[in-house]
Structure 1
Amino acid sequence: MNKKMFNKEIKQMGAFQFSVPSGHMNFQLGHLNIIIVTDGIGYYDKNCFAPGIARGEVNQLLDDHYIESEYFELAHNILVIQTGDRTVLVDAGNGDGSEKSVGRLPENLLHAGISLQSVTDIVLTHAHPDHINGLINKENTLVFPHADVHLSKTEYNFWMSATPDFSKSKNTIESCLFVQQQAKDCFTILGNQLKLFNEAEPLFDFLTPVLAPGHTPGHCMFAVSANDEMFIHMADIVHDEIILFSNPHWGTIFDIDFELAATTRKDILDQFARSRQRVFSYHLPWPGFGYVQKVDSTYKWVQERYLTPQFRKSI
């Protein structure tokens, strides 16, 4: 979230409330109450993106978009779905052991009126640290004590393997092994609260996984649907709205299978551009909703300004 936004007052905008100081926004999707909660802004070194591409070419692209910082500022948008007696989070953020600019999910959930004890389910898109470390606090106890945590079997088996294949990543083996150890420690502490799902089967009547491998082997998007309304949570298909939209094949060092991730990214962006599908992203600018547009041989992120059809009709 842009830091200046925290200083704005709560505003009522037609059919939905945009509550910036408390780090959340909510709206209705059919019978579902959807809340977007920020875990904060993460600062990522530019060299994490487009590994192997001449820095001059990368810097020229960034200059063309007036980006001069040494870091990318990436949002961490957490999707919350409420229906009946269920409160479902998609991903859990960075946790309290992270840099001060992230790890804000628990306090922002409270601002949104959601206690940590009331969360019934947490669905993980994949097992990277900025998605799972928020499950466990510094004392190695559960942040969400009553929540079942859902993870794809493919993802679990990869990170728990004695010999995971990191040879197709452009990250260092040391970094990959460190991430693996964090995942294994987290899974161990979760114990029986960790529930594994088959990517081909719906989790609930409103949430369906869509396997999109490459970033990690079990990386999943999720279709969120209610009645005749639907959007796709595209997880970490893209991390920024410039580098990876302009050049999907440039990728990141975080991709476990770099070439497969690039292929998946290109295919998904092309699919979204053709279908004009409404999508939600974990890392794109707050609040993460928008559309993918095809521009010649590249793509463009079109951020959604208003979140609800009801609001569009009211202006």
Structure 2
Amino acid sequence: MKFTRRTILRGAMAAGAMTALPRMTFAANTLELGAARIDTLSDGNLILPMGFVSSDPAAKPILEEYGITGPQVEPPCNVTLYRDGTNTVLFDVGAGPDFMPTAGKIMEAMDALEVAPEDVTHVVFTHGHPDHLWGVLDDFDEPIFFNAAHMMGKDEFDYWRDPDTVNTIDDGRKTFAAGALRRLETLEDQIATFGDGEEILPGIAARMTPGHTPGHMSFEIRNGNSSAFVTGDAIVNHYLAFAAPAMASGSDQDPDLGAKTRVALLDQLASEKMPIIGFHLPEGGVGHVERKDDAYRYVPEA
């Protein structure tokens, strides 16, 4: 298994022009997994109020230890790209242009790796939140990854596809439900669903990790003797989620279930020493879990 961290610099400049578009930087990690390759693609970042992290007073000293003292956080968004020579798989697709101006940058990141939308054979969703799903359609409500099969866990699909979800979800997430419903209605005939434990593609197994959303899925990828775990938002940050995994997270729709899932998952990942790819983890999102005292810490791969 080989890790490479790199910074990809891409700029747009007309030859001989007096002005140019701003240079953009996309941080990415690469993990060689047997004969396959995993890249993380930056979709930009979110800007979230601190309530999406935690409202527990016990969180404050942990946050301060990580230098987080302001009223908001700006988590990165890392889309996972898996290529095994046959399949080119995106795990989630980013936020698209309609969620936050700081996100929705996946197309620039793909261009930096010289991967075109038509090259993608499969789009696999961890869950239906905007920063993971909303980038699936273009301005004409056509699938951006038009050659790809689209896949989502059945429980997750059924939850967001239900027109009543917008009436039962909390007020702060009603736009999440409306946006997911519109996109999944458009894609309905093109989405295959799957259950916990299914091998959805050769070497890729679905793992139910609920709490963040009702049917949230993570994925264990194996190629040769190597493996890695795509966590989605089952582990949503590199500070509280590791240092206090049993603490309720404001980003989880079911905080108690989310904490239970997180505690069990971190124990498994630390025991198995399996590399992880986290959607909102720093420095490209590729690292591993280590035990620290009675909790854990996130270690980015060098």
TM bucket, shorter chain: 0.7 to 0.9
Please name the residue that 1:61 is paired with.
Answer: 62
SS for the counterpart of 1:18 is: strand
Distance 1:222 1:244 in 2: 19
The Cα shift of 1:40 comes to 1.1
User: Does the Cα contact within 8 Å between 1:147 and 1:193 map onto a contact in 2?
Assistant: no
Q: Tell me which of 221, 224, 227 is aligned to 1:224.
A: 221
Counterpart CA distance in 2 for 1:303 and 1:15 is 10
TM-superposed CA distance for 1:267, in Å, is 1.1
What residue in structure 2 maps to residue 36 of structure 1? 40
Change (3 A) 1:86 1:301: same
2:296 is aligned to 299
The residue identity in structure 2 corresponding to 1:21 is L
| TM-superposed deviation, 1:104 | 0.5
**Pairwise mapping of residues 250-261 of structure 1 onto structure 2 (< 5 A)?**
250-261=247-258
CA contact (8 A) 2:29 2:285 kept: no
Q: Which residue of 2 aligns with 1:271?
A: 268
> 2:5 and 2:276 mapped to 1: Cα distance?
20
Structure 1 position 96 matched with structure 2 position 97 = yes
Would the alpha carbon gap of residues 244 and 33 (structure 1) be closer, same or farther in structure 2, given more than 3 Å must change?
closer
Q: Show CA shifts across 1:117-163 (max 9, x none).
A: 22111000111111000102333222212211100111111222354
Does the residue aligned with 1:21 lie in a helix, a strand or coil?
A: strand
- Three-state SS of the structure 2 residue aligned to 1:180 is helix
The question of 1:21 aligning with 2:16 is answered no
Name 1:246's counterpart in structure 2.
243
Counterparts in 2 of 1:33 and 1:244: CA distance versus 1, 3 Å: closer
% same residue = 24
Deviations 1:194-219 (A, max 9, x none): 11122221011121111111111211
* Structure 2 SS opposite 1:28: strand
Q: C-alpha distance in 1, partners of 2:70/2:173?
A: 26
Deviates more, 1:65-74 or 1:145-154: 65-74
Which residue pairs with 2:138 in the alignment? 137
Quote the RMSD (CA, aligned, Å). Answer: 2.2
Q: Which amino acid aligns with 2:262?
A: R
Which amino acid counterpart does residue 220 of structure 1 have in structure 2? M
Three-state SS of the structure 1 residue aligned to 2:252 is: coil
C-alpha distance in 1 between matches for 2:264 and 2:86: 37
Aligned residues between the structures:
285
Among candidates 41, 44, 50, match of residue 46 of structure 1: 50
Number of the residue aligned with 1:110: 111
Residue ranges of structure 1 left out of the alignment (5+ in a row): 1-13, 306-315
CA distance in 1: counterparts of 2:296 and 2:154, whole angstroms: 32
Aligned to 1:313: none
- Does the Cα contact within 8 Å between 1:49 and 1:252 map onto a contact in 2? yes
Which AA in structure 2 matches 1:173? D
- What code does the residue aligned with 1:40 have? G
Asked whether the 8 Å contact 1:166–1:176 carries over to 2, the reply is no
- The aligned counterpart of 1:6 is none
Unaligned runs of 5+ in 2: 11-25
State the 1:98 CA deviation: 3.0
Letter in 1 for 2:238: E
For residues 109 and 166 of structure 2, the distance between their equivalents in structure 1, rounded to whole angstroms, comes to: 37
Residue 67 to residue 15, structure 1, CA distance change in 2 (3 Å)? closer
Cα pair 1:244 1:251 within 8 Å, conserved: no
Aligned match of 1:8: none
**2:188 — aligned with what?**
191
Letter of the aligned partner of 2:102 in structure 1? Answer: S
C-alpha distance in 1, partners of 2:175/2:288?
A: 34
Report the TM-score when normalising by structure 2.
Answer: 0.87
Query: Which of residues 212, 215, 237 is equivalent to 2:212?
Result: 215
SS at match of 1:259: helix
State the one-letter code of the partner of 2:110.
L
Helix, strand or coil for the counterpart of 1:80? Answer: strand
Q: Distance in 1 between matches of 2:45 and 2:265?
A: 25
Residue 17 of structure 2 aligns with which residue?
Answer: none
Q: Distance in 2 between matches of 1:290 and 1:16?
A: 11
Q: Give, in angstroms, the shift of residue 72 of structure 1.
A: 1.6
Shift of 1:304: 1.4
What is the CA deviation profile of residues 55-99 of structure 1, one whole-angstrom value per residue up to 9, with x for unaligned ones?
xx4333222332233322211111111123421100000111232
